[in-house]
Amino acid sequence: MSSPPVIAIDGPSGSGKGTVCRRVAAELGFHLLDSGALYRLTGLAGRHAGLAPGDEAGHARLARGMQVEFGADERGDERIWLNGEVVTDAIRTEQAGNLASQVASLGAVRQALVARQRDFATLPGLVADGRDMGTQIFPTAALKIFLTASAEERARRRYNQLKDKGLSVSLADLSREIAERDHRDASRALAPLVAAADAVELDSTGLTPDEVVARVLTLARERLIG
């Protein structure tokens, strides 16, 4: 039997990957892997356990053993459980993102999450959202997209998202944190954020989410059907 089709969408924070992946998965009726959430959950599990951010073996153990469930609440909004506790909002803070980026640089943690991520590839297919989906986790994906946007636009989008959630943040702080996180993600030795050689690069600066989704769907239909 042939393996389920995978669409790998990688790119930096704030490139619009989350929204685009969710909508493309819904349009195609595919499963969704939010790999960043797994790193965020590992960071949070480590904090709950009182681990130092650099404790590689401790975080790898948690990454392998944590019980994670992705689902939705009564209104259909995303809900995520970590060891039976709802952590949807807790993992979406900037602090959780920074912690995630620190534990994501630990090799044993990345290794511990490989099988967990590949398990998401089931029929009828998967849209995988991350940094290394096309390069490391699904190197034979049918379609690889590298989604970018200018740093200013990404900071502005993040700012609006957080403001909508009622969280108070400063645009200047966000821009600085995004630049720091980009730098750490792109310069780390393990699975740095780079486009796969066979990825289609898509710059979403100035495009609406609808326009980006439409472009990805066109490519998906060409590759998966055509």
* Residue 83 vs 161, nearer CB to ligand C5P: 161
Q: How many CB atoms lie within 10 A of CB 165?
A: 11
Among 63, 100, 199, 213, binds ligand C5P (CB under 6 A): 100
Contacts of 105 by beta carbon, 8 Å cutoff, 6+ apart: 184, 188, 189, 190
The residue among 201 and 222 lying less far from ligand C5P, judged by its C-beta, is 201
Q: Is 40 near ligand C5P (CB under 6 A)?
A: yes
Q: State which of residues 16, 46, 97, 134 lies at the interface with ligand C5P (CB under 6 A).
A: 97
Continuous segment of H or E residues that includes residue 27: helix 17-28
Candidates 39, 120, 138, 159: give the one binding ligand C5P (CB under 6 A): 39
> Does 15 engage in binding with ligand C5P (CB under 6 A)?
no
Is residue 177 near ligand C5P by the rule CB under 6 A? no
Name the residues that contact ligand C5P, by CB under 6 A.
Answer: 13, 35-36, 39-40, 97, 100-101, 104, 130-132, 181, 185
